[in-house]
Amino acid sequence: MSSLSSQSYKGATDWYPEDFRRREYVFKIWRRVCERYGYEGYDAPLLEPLEVYAAKSGQELVSEQTYQFIDRGDRHVAIRPEMTPTVSRMVAARRQELAYPARWYSIAQFMRYERPQRGREREFWQLNVDIFGSDTRHAEAEIIIMGDQIMREFGAHDEMYTIKINNRKLINFMMAQYLELDAIQSQLMIKLFDRKSKISPEVFRDQAIDIFGDRSHEGLQKIAHLLAAKTMADLPESIRDSSAVREVQELFTLLERAGVKNVVFDITLMRGLDYYTGTVFEFFDMHPENRRSLFGGGRYDGLVGLFGAEPLAAVGMAPGLTPMMLFLESHKLMPLVPSTTEVYMIILGDAMRGAQKLADQLRTEGVRVEVDFTGRKLDRQIKTAVKKQIPYMLFVGDEELSHEIYSLKDTQNSTEHKLSFERIVSTIKDRRRRPSQDDELDKLQD
């Protein structure tokens, strides 16, 4: 019998402790910003009826990317590929009971059957932030400002990323009134614009010609005019005077007042999911080796109403873990995240019984302690502490227990001090309060 493979499922990730710590660092920043703005955490089932996604998420997502199966109760279910339909269902279930605006967030796991590539996996984690019950530009501005605050909390600066903004009302007006496309042609053109950055100009042109048909010459000229517009002032006059443009201008004003400066208007930004109804936006990495979309979101006012409740205004965004970690690594913003264990207790001689008692006392004071009870030689115990990246080593033998003075050694810089129990506790807790980047995780764990 052949041995089983030690590899994880294709497109999924094994989170070893050092990777798990980096993941937790990102999650804790996300939680901190969300809760700072008054958002409450929630969670939901991993499985949903397939129809939840079929209604509005888009045919490509449901037909090509969703993990789906018939369960033992003969129900057609899917592993969630996104959270927006689920959270809309949850809000609809308690539509009359909730206080509005309702501000919710979750950090959850998803699966999509896609071709694994840099920054895109089949199993992935993402933050979902949504505000329900406000149809004003202030709700859209708040979500985008929170996205900007998340980036800044990680240490990012304006030149590292840009925020692209468009509006689905503007897109629909542009397709129907300016390009004069029917409903089917409009959907095809929206999908084409959404893929523009991923295909060659020649392929884009040829597919646009197919959509326009006999009107391709005039249509291509109009598209060229649209693509040349770098600001809303550059848009054709018939579009520039629309109410949708005024919505975008109002949003830009609110963002500017909040100090969000790196915002640009992008007429090609579509956000492919079918449920968006107004503002759409995307945070984009400007690093030359990682130029890619980081995350996005927008307004989706119609989704709650699909679940039998009264329609409800909603805006949300969904930063993904893998793109965020790639951003931090590309810009050298990912700190060294040490072990969550603070002290590795090294036993000298036959002091195990007293050492275990000392460890329990330290744990009672909130210190995170691992005891080496292997009986190995001193050098082997020290190598283990270093390899595990545990910040401190505490040497405990009969003499130390007798005098109640112990050697505490900093694993990183090798400084060593003889300290009492109380001083060990205060030293560990003082370390958690250091302002350096390397100790960010410890501050969050306090």
75-88 confidence digits (pLDDT tens) = 999 999 999 999 99
Question: 338-368, pLDDT tens digit by residue?
Answer: 899 999 999 999 999 999 999 999 999 999 9
**Please, what is the average pLDDT of the chain?**
92
Quick check: 446 pLDDT over 50? Answer: no
User: Tell me, what's the pLDDT at 54?
Assistant: 82
User: Tell me, what's the pLDDT at 101?
Assistant: 97
The CATH architecture that domain 17-330 belongs to is: 2-Layer Sandwich (3.30)
Question: 139-150, pLDDT tens digit by residue?
Answer: 999 999 999 999
Question: 371-412, pLDDT tens digit by residue?
Answer: 999 999 999 999 999 999 999 999 999 999 999 999 999 998
Percent of the chain with pLDDT over 70: 96
Quick check: 441 pLDDT over 60? Answer: no
Least confident of 33-47, 90-104, 212-226: 212-226
- Cα-flanking dihedrals φ and ψ of residue 319, to 5°? -65, 135
Instruction: Report residue 165 as tokens.
Output: 């903004």
Please tell me the distance from the alpha carbon of residue 239 to that of residue 176, in angstroms, as a whole number.
11
Quick check: 221 pLDDT over 70? Answer: yes
Q: What does the H/E/C string look like for the chain?
A: CCCCCCCCCCCCCCCCHHHHHHHHHHHHHHHHHHHHCCCEECCCCCEEECHHHHCCCCHHHHHHHCCEEECCCCCEEEECCCCHHHHHHHHHHCCCCCCCCEEEEEEEEEECCCCCECCECCEEEEEEEEEECCCCHHHHHHHHHHHHHHHHHCCCCHHHEEEEEEEHHHHHHHHHHHCCCCHHHHHHHHHHHHCHHHCCHHHHHHHHHHHHHHHHHHHHHHHHHHHCCCCHHHCCHHHHCCHHHHHHHHHHHHHHHCCCCCEEECCCCCCCCCCCCCEEEEEEECCCCCCEEEEEEEECCCCHHHHCCCCCCEEEECCEHHHHHHHHHHCCCCCCCCCCCCEEEEECCCCHHHHHHHHHHHHHCCCCEEECCCCCCHHHHHHHHHHCCCCEEEEECHHHHHHCCEEEEECCCCCEEEECHHHHHHHHHHHHCCCCHHHHHHHHHC
User: Tell me, what's the pLDDT at 57?
Assistant: 63
Tell me the angle at which helices 201-212 and 183-194 cross, rounded to the nearest 10 degrees.
180
Percent of the chain with pLDDT over 90: 77
User: Tell me, what's the pLDDT at 58?
Assistant: 64
The larger pLDDT score, comparing residue 385 to residue 2, is at 385
Quick check: 56 pLDDT over 70? Answer: no
Give the confidence band of 445 by pLDDT, cuts at 50, 70, 90.
Answer: very low
Question: 278-332, pLDDT tens digit by residue?
Answer: 999 999 999 999 999 999 999 999 899 999 899 999 999 999 999 999 999 999 9
User: Tell me, what's the pLDDT at 115?
Assistant: 87
Which residues in the chain are classed under CATH 3.40.50.800? 343-445
Instruction: Report residue 59 as tokens.
Output: 């045919």
User: Tell me, what's the pLDDT at 438?
Assistant: 41
User: Tell me, what's the pLDDT at 237?
Assistant: 86
283 strand-pairing partners = 163, 295
Quick check: 255 pLDDT over 90? Answer: yes
The CATH architecture that domain 343-445 belongs to is: 3-Layer(aba) Sandwich (3.40)
Highest-confidence segment of 13-17, 34-38, 53-57 = 34-38
Sign of the CA dihedral with 245 first, then 250, 255, and 256 last: positive
- Check: CB of residue 18 under 8 Å from CB of residue 438: no
Which residues in the chain are classed under CATH 3.30.930.10? 17-330
- Check: CB of residue 297 under 8 Å from CB of residue 281: yes
Question: 87-114, pLDDT tens digit by residue?
Answer: 999 999 999 999 999 999 999 999 999 8
Please tell me the distance from the alpha carbon of residue 309 to that of residue 300, in angstroms, as a whole number.
15
Instruction: Report residue 46 as tokens.
Output: 């991993």
